[in-house]
Chains A and B, each alone.
Chain A
Amino acid sequence: MNTRVATGLMLASTIALAACQKKAPEELPPPPTETAPAPAPAPSGPGVGSQQHFIDAVGQQNTVVYFDTDQYNIDAEDQAKLQRQAQYFSQYSQVNFTIEGHADERGTREYNLALGERRANAAKNYLVSVGVPANRIRTISYGKERPVALGSNQAAWAQNRRAATVTIN
Chain B
Amino acid sequence: MKYVLFAAAALLAASLSAQDQAVQNQDLGQPLPEGGVVETIDEGEGLSGSVSFEGNLDDLGIAIPGFATDRDVSTPANSSGTAALGKELARVITADLRNNGLFKPTGPDSLPQPTFNEITSPNFPTWSNRGAEMLVHGYVRGRTDGKLTVGCYLYDMALRSELVREGWVVPPADWRRAAHKCSDLIYSRLTGESPFFDSRIAYIAETGPKDNRSKRLAIMDSDGANHRFITTGRSTALTPRYSPDYKKLSYLSYVDGNPRIYVYDIGTGRQTLITQSDNPTFAPRWSPDGNWLLYSMAVGGNTDIYRVSARGGESIRLTDTPGIDIGGSYSPDGRQIVFESDRSGAQQCYVMNADGTNQRRISFGGSRCATPEWSPRGDQIAFTNSSTFNISVMTPSGGNVRVLTNGWQDEAPTWAPNGRIIQFFRTERNSGKAALYQVDLTGENLRQLPTPVDASDPAWGPILP
Chain A residues engaging chain B, CB cutoff 8 angstroms: 1-2, 4-5, 70, 72, 105-111, 113-115, 117-122, 124-125, 139-143, 145-148, 150-152
Contact = CB atoms under 8 A, between A and B. Distances in A.
A130 B370 CA distance: 36
B312 interface: no
A141 B215 CA distance: 16
Nearest to A110: B283
Given A140-B259, A145-B236, A122 B301 contact: yes
Contacts of A115: 324
Contacts of A106: 389, 409
B453 to A, nearest CB: 14
Contacts of A117: 280, 298, 301, 303
A151 B211 CA distance: 11
Interface string B182-223: 000000000000000000000000001111111100000000
Interface in B226-268: 234, 236, 238-239, 252, 257-259
B347 to A, nearest CB: 6
B282 A113 contact: yes
B344 to A, nearest CB: 12
A127 B148 CA distance: 67
Contacts of A142: 259
A53 B73 CA distance: 72
Interface stretch (B5-13, B130-138, B164-172, B425-433): B425-433
A105 B427 contact: yes
A82 to B, nearest CB: 15
Contacts of A121: 298, 300-301
> 4 closest Cβ contacts across the A-B interface?
A121-B301, A114-B303, A117-B298, A108-B370
Given A5-B208, A118-B298, A140 B280 contact: yes
A107 to B, nearest CB: 7
Given A110-B371, A147-B210, 7 more contacts: A70-B346, A105-B427, A106-B389, A111-B386, A117-B298, A141-B280, A152-B408
Interface in B358-406: 370-371, 384, 386, 389
Given A114-B303, A121-B301, A147-B210, A2 B370 contact: no
Contact of B430 (A141, A145, A148, A151): A151
B236 A110 contact: no
B350 to A, nearest CB: 14
Contact of A140 (B238, B257, B429): B257
Nearest to B298: A117
B457 interface: yes
A122 B300 CA distance: 9
B347 A111 contact: yes
Interface string B407-444: 01101100000000000000101101000000000000
B178 interface: no
Contacts of B213: 145
B212 A4 contact: yes
Interface residues of B, number: 47
A125 B302 CA distance: 12
Contacts of B257: 140
Contacts of A152: 408, 429-430, 432
Contacts of B296: 110, 114
Contact of B411 (A109, A119, A122): A109
Given A114-B282, A118-B301, A121-B300, A150 B432 contact: yes
A143 B457 CA distance: 14
B301 A110 contact: no
A121 to B, nearest CB: 3
Contacts of A1: 212
Given A5-B212, A145-B236, A113 B346 contact: no
Given A5-B212, A106-B389, A117-B280, A141 B327 contact: no
A146 B209 CA distance: 11
Nearest to A2: B234
A72 B411 CA distance: 23
Contacts of B239: 109-110
Nearest to A134: B300
Nearest to A140: B258
B301 A111 contact: no
- Centre residue among B282, B346, B456, B457 by max chain A CB count within 10 A: B282
B259 A141 contact: yes
A109 B458 CA distance: 12
A125 B300 CA distance: 9
B116 to A, nearest CB: 52
Contacts of A2: 214, 234
Interface string B285-305: 000000000001010111100
B296 to A, nearest CB: 7
B338 interface: no
A142 B234 CA distance: 15
B253 to A, nearest CB: 12
B340 interface: yes
23 contacts: A2-B234, A70-B342, A105-B432, A106-B389, A107-B386, A108-B386, A109-B239, A109-B411, A109-B456, A110-B296, A110-B326, A114-B282, A114-B324, A115-B324, A117-B303, A118-B324, A120-B301, A121-B301, A139-B301, A140-B257, A140-B259, A150-B209, A152-B429
